[in-house]
Amino acid sequence: MLVEIAEAHGVSAAQVALAWLMARPGVSTVIVGARTEEQLSDNLAAADLTLTGEEHARLEQVSRPRLIYPFWHQMQSASERLGAGDLSLIGPYLSPT
């Protein structure tokens, strides 16, 4: 997925990953682990990359961790009774109706 999106933008997969991370809610900083000046330049270029809403959604979907119990059980057995707190965690896992 990263490589597909990177090729479409003509950038590296690392730039796509960093751009996606920087746009995530709650992420205030990203730590760059470059070993060479070339890697550093490539990683810093991610600040200029803008991903589409569709690209963000695709990356979110493939990177989403599996729900642990009891959350998957709530989603399967009581999805119509979930409160705001439940939906903040479970909401992204619910398929649109």
- Ranges of residues in the chain with a pLDDT under 70 are 96-97
pTM of the model: 0.73
List the domain boundaries for the chain. Answer: 1-64, 66-97
The pLDDT assigned to 75 comes to 87
SS (H, E, C) the chain: CHHHHHHHHCCCHHHHHHHHHHCCCCCCCCCCCCCCHHHHHHHHHHHHCCCCHHHHHHHHHHHCCCCCCCHHHHHHHHHHHCCHHHHHHHHHHCCCC
The pLDDT assigned to 67 comes to 87
Q: What is the pLDDT of residues 26-43, one digit of tens each?
A: 888 898 889 999 999 999
The pLDDT assigned to 96 comes to 63
